[in-house]
Amino acid sequence: MSYKPLTTIIFDMDGTLANTEEIHRQAFNQAFTEFDLPIHWNAPEYAQLLSVSGGRQRIYRYLKSHSINLRRDKRRFAREIHQRKSEIYREKLDAGHLILRRGVLRLIREAHRNNIRMGIATSSSRSNIDTLVHNTLGIRGLDYFDSIVSCDIISEQKPSPAVYQYALAELGTNPENCIAIEDTSNGNRAALAAGIKTVITTHEFTLDNDFSGASLVLDDMGEPEHHFNVLSGNSHEHHYLNLELMKKILQDQSPVNVQSPWFPAYAACCK
């Protein structure tokens, strides 16, 4: 067995770095109200809607599949609603409605001290990334990340691996030396399709997702004084997610399932 050093960690953002999904849900509903739409997404419904990656696509598909009488182009209208929703979301973040999930700051600092390269690969926008990072990691928080790939760069949404393939290329990293941290089924599938092993940290909106192929599924990253709960996978007798555990995950013999309908791969889809 050849040794595979851990050189890189790629984080999803929403739901992974911070519990943002409830804030997103509230922002969607406020935008619907402002546009006089008879739509209100409750928490169980929103959990189901998260199977569609990307907020604009989520709105568009909802408008298409429901009997909402509109005398305008639904795709263009979805874009307008989503633009306002994103403004509301960032206003809520700026108002201090957010903290990082347990263990995130500790792991980022540990990786930084040990010269592990880090990236963010998300279906969210760059402006949302900047707002979240500035409000949780501080004004220099973006300096932790050597690659930030958003929907402004890659239009294909997860479970397409395009966002991860772009991040790997930008970081100059082989997938076998990288671990992705995700929170959704689509994110898990995207990373696996790019050949990257995954660690999942679930939350209230993704507890029922299918995380087949993930190396480890947890309720959060844990802390030395507050252990995580293992939902599936091998934690190698660790009680919180750290570099030592992630290095052991890379050495596991379980292959990454790279079979995916999402082709062409990076070189074509990211032109």
Eight-class DSSP state of 148 = E
Beta carbons of 221 and 103 less than 8 angstroms apart: yes
Residue among 250, 121, 231 at smallest CA distance from 186:
121
| Cα–Cα dist 229/241, whole Å | 11
Residue 187: CB atoms within 10 Å: 31
Token digits for 94?
């700026």
Phi, psi for residue 225 in degrees, rounded to 5: -100, 0
Q: What is the DSSP string of 169-225?
A: HHHT--GGGEEEEE-SHHHHHHHHHTT-EEEEE--TTTTTS--TT-SEEESS--BTT
- State both tokens at 254: 């379980």
Nearest to 181 by CA among 162, 201, 161, 195: 201
Point out the residues that are catalytic: 12, 14
Q: How far is CA 263 from CA 42, 154, 171, 215, in A?
A: 35, 14, 21, 24
